[in-house]
Amino acid sequence: MTPTVREIQGAVARGERRAVDVCHDALSRIDASNGTLNAFITVTHEHAMARAKAIDAHPHRDQLPLAGVPVAIKDNICTRGLRTTAASKMLEQFVAPYDATVVRALEAAGAVIVGKTNLDEFAMGSSTENSAFGSAKNPWDPARIPGGTSGGSAIAVAAGMVPLALGSDTGGSIRQPASMCGVVGLKPTYGRVSRYGLIAHASSLDQIGPMTRTVEDAAIALNVIAGNDPADATSAHEPVTDMTARLSSMAPDRLRIGIPRSLLEQGIDPEVARAFNTALDTYQALGATIVDIALPHAGAAIPVYYLVSTAEASSNLARYDGVRYGFRAANEHREQDDLQTMYSRTRARGFGSEVKRRIMLGTYVLSAGYYDAYYLKAQRVRTLIRRDYEQALQQVDVIAMPTSPTPAFRLGEKVSDPLQMYLGDIFTVSANLTGLPAISIPCGFTADHLPIGVQLTGRLFDEATIMSAAHLYERQTSWWTRVPNL
């Protein structure tokens, strides 16, 4: 098993290992496995090695919280001087002129960025099959999906390429692939981490977060990337406490875990249900109290999410028109074009089928005569879902559910049935609609050796509690120590 963030940082900070050696090892692992798994769109060999040399020469590297740690960045997060494609032909050759705030924070903390990871195009999908650069593959079974949309980041951590990767989460895009690849995935509270430099999908739902092997590593990463950012108007002014200092603060006999039983009655794979219930048994054996709760409007979360997210995506993706930057479709007939024809040709060829589907859905729900019936009503139900969670979290510390109702399915299995693909987000979308923090941690495996995750959701800006509860479970189990046989 490859070293954790904590182990690498400690070794580099103490001078026991050189950052260039750590970086070389990470790049070697990427080169050995990426041809099979397609986790990375871009690998930054020269950039990464130059950065690692700078860390070794840093006079105060012992004070850097991520000294020499190799990090992968989802390719919808801007990196200055490096391609940022969003896995789309539309941005295939786009080189970002600036760094996202999270990238600046990582590098200031001593991290070494080794590459940009694969995703569903513009972060739209649940399987990392909707990429202009080809489908990513699950390291536990390359015939299966890794989950999405942060599938490349999940693979990179699960396969031991890097100990830390950043993803983005609009409806479960960090947590679901974390579950399907057997790693930790944290979606922070909306506003906890700056979105400046994140290519927008749905602006009221998007959030950047870490994917790691351990809960402690996720806490270390959150310490680095969290905080207010004047460049992001939605960035919160909430103080950021040391998340690692509170990991062991949870007394098991004081932990109250809420279970929305009615939401879990159907549609869950039996092996997922069994692993989830066993995880609850582990918590109860430690002294935690299991409390039945009601989330009466959570069943409407999927239609609400796919109305709100597609409407916002339709608006955000209007900027890709072939005029200002990115792809412009050539006029093979060399006839005089009007502007509308050029727009249409560029967008028809530049966007993939899933992105086009969501643009059309979003444009429809925002159109005259349908706005009140669909988008406005969805926003009202979104408020009801948020109130349900607020009331439930007055009774309990965290709410537990399976992260995904199924383990990873086979590549191509649901491509022709987008509705079934969308229903797989049933347990994750509510955290985005409400803005609440949520974490997925490994809790078991199927008979086919496919990972299963459990999700814990908490109160606004209370990442410390969900991570403490997750850490408590992690210390009692060994699921996180299992690695795929590559």
Distances (CA, A) of 180 to 44, 83, 302: 26, 27, 20
pLDDT at 325: 82
| Distance spanning both ends of the chain, measured CA to CA | 12
pLDDT tens-digit series, residues 165-192 = 999 999 999 999 999 999 999 999 999 9
* Cβ atoms of residues 307 and 378 within 8 Å: yes
Helix ranges (H only) for 321-462 are: 339-350, 353-366, 377-392, 418-423, 429-434
Q: Which of 228, 99, 231 is nearest to 166 (CA)?
A: 99
Which CATH superfamily groups domain 5-247? Amidase signature (AS) domain (3.90.1300.10)
Q: Residue 49: which pLDDT band, with cuts at 50, 70 and 90?
A: very high
Which residue has 């990991």 as its token pair? 247
Tell me: pLDDT of 394 over 70.
Answer: yes
332 or 276, higher pLDDT = 276
Q: Strand 70-74 relative to strand 164-169: parallel, antiparallel, unpaired?
A: parallel
Q: What is the pLDDT of residues 52-81, one digit of tens each?
A: 999 999 999 999 999 999 999 999 999 999
Q: Are 216 and 244 in contact (CB under 8 A)?
A: yes
Res. 249: pLDDT tops 90:
no
213: left (phi over 0), alpha (psi -120 to 50) or beta: alpha
Q: What is the pLDDT of residue 336?
A: 67
Which residue, chain included where needed, has tokens 């060994």? 478
Cα–Cα distance measured from residue 114 to residue 165, given in angstroms and rounded to the nearest whole number: 10
| Confidence at 1, pLDDT banded by 50, 70, 90 | confident
Asked if 13 contacts 50 with a C-beta cutoff of 8 angstroms, the reply is no
Q: What average pLDDT does this structure show over 276-301?
A: 97
The whole-angstrom separation of Cα 182 and Cα 484 is 9
What pLDDT sits at residue 335?
Answer: 67
Q: How far apart, in Å, are the Cα atoms of 427 and each of 224, 276, 357, 439?
A: 28, 13, 23, 12
Binning pLDDT at 50, 70 and 90, where does residue 227 land? Answer: very high
Average pLDDT rounded to a whole number, residues 90-107: 97
Distance CA 246, CA 438 (A): 17
Whether 219 has a pLDDT exceeding 90, the answer reads: yes
Mark residue 81 as left, alpha or beta (left: phi above 0; alpha: psi -120 to 50; beta: remaining): left
Question: What is the rounded average pLDDT for all residues in the chain?
Answer: 96
pLDDT band of residue 405 (cuts 50, 70, 90) is very high
Residue 453's pLDDT is 98
pLDDT at 385: 98
The two counts, helices (H) then strands (E), for the chain are 15, 11
Residue 433 has pLDDT above 80, yes or no: yes
Q: Which residues contact 257 (CB under 8 A, 6 or more apart)?
A: 280, 283, 288, 289, 290, 291, 396, 397, 398, 399, 400, 456, 469
- The residues facing 210 across adjacent strands are 166
Helix pair angle (19-37, 45-56), 10° resolution: 160
Nearest to 215 by CA among 4, 481, 470, 442: 470
| Confidence band, pLDDT 50/70/90 cuts, at residue 233 | very high
Whole-prediction pTM: 0.97
* Percentage above 70 pLDDT, the chain: 99
Per DSSP, 78 falls in state: -
pLDDT tens for 149-168 read: 999 999 999 999 999 999 99
Task: Report the distance separating Cα 346 and Cα 95, nearest Å.
Answer: 19
When pLDDT is averaged across residues 186-214 and rounded to a whole number, the result is 98
Read off the pLDDT band of 349 (50, 70, 90): very high
Q: What is the pLDDT of residues 434-469, one digit of tens each?
A: 999 999 999 999 999 999 999 999 999 999 999 999
Domain boundaries, the chain: 5-247
Q: Over the stretch 80-93, which tens digit does the pLDDT of each residue have?
A: 999 999 999 999 99
Give the integer Cα–Cα distance in Å for 104 and 119: 22
φ, ψ of residue 294 to 5 degrees: the values are -115, 135
Cis preceding-peptide flag for 149 (omega within 30 of 0): yes
What pLDDT shows up at residue 486?
85
pLDDT at 420: 86
Q: What is the CA radius of gyration of the chain?
A: 21
Going by DSSP bridges, is the β-strand pair 451-457/438-445 parallel, antiparallel, or unpaired?
antiparallel
Residues 460, 463, 464, 468: is their CA dihedral positive or negative? positive
Per-position DSSP letters for 33-45, written without gaps between them = HHHHH--EEEE-H
